[in-house]
Amino acid sequence: MRKICALENPALPFNPAELIPDWAAELPVAITVCDLDARILYMNLKSVATFSNSGGSGLIGKNLRDCHSPQSNDIIKELLSTGRSNIYTIEKKGVKKMICQIPWYKKGEIAGLVELSIVLPELMPHFIRP
């Protein structure tokens, strides 16, 4: 199975490929992982396809701040410094998605962010459980 990940970088204290299990490579959810400097470490195949017009796998190693507005960069900075999650829905070109931006940790310390972009069905049931 082909994994999409950053090339080994001697400046990092770990190999980014070790972060992601093999099953994530072809998961039908876009997964993008960045480090504390907002540098993209990993994109699975769905993420590469989702961002193909912006560079696809060529974005690996690039900084998220170069791809976002000042307002979004402020949010990224806050998430990286506080460990807070940012979860919301969007609609673009008629496709609804849930975006989950959550911190990931290495040895108990915030190490970066994971973004999951999940396409939502047009009609989605909502259940209230006891």
Task: Quote the pLDDT of residue 23.
Answer: 84
6-20, 74-88, 115-129: least confidently modelled range? 6-20
9-13, 43-47, 63-67: least confidently modelled range? 9-13
Long-range Cβ pairs for the range 89-96 (8 Å, 24+): 89/120, 95/119, 96/120, 96/122
Boundaries of domain holding 34:
16-119
Residue 129 forms part of a structural domain = no
**Residue 90 maps to which CATH number?**
3.30.450.20
Residue 1 pLDDT class (50, 70, 90 cuts): very low
- Residue position matching structure tokens 């990092």: 12
Residue 9 forms part of a structural domain = no
| Whole-angstrom distance, CA of residue 73 vs CA of residue 71 | 5
What tens digit of pLDDT does each residue of 71-86 get? 999 999 999 999 999 9
16-25, 61-70, 75-84: least confidently modelled range? 16-25
Residue 7 forms part of a structural domain = no
3-12, 85-94, 108-117: least confidently modelled range? 3-12
Q: What are phi and psi of 70, to 5 degrees?
A: -55, -40
Query: What is the count of structural domains for the chain?
Result: 1
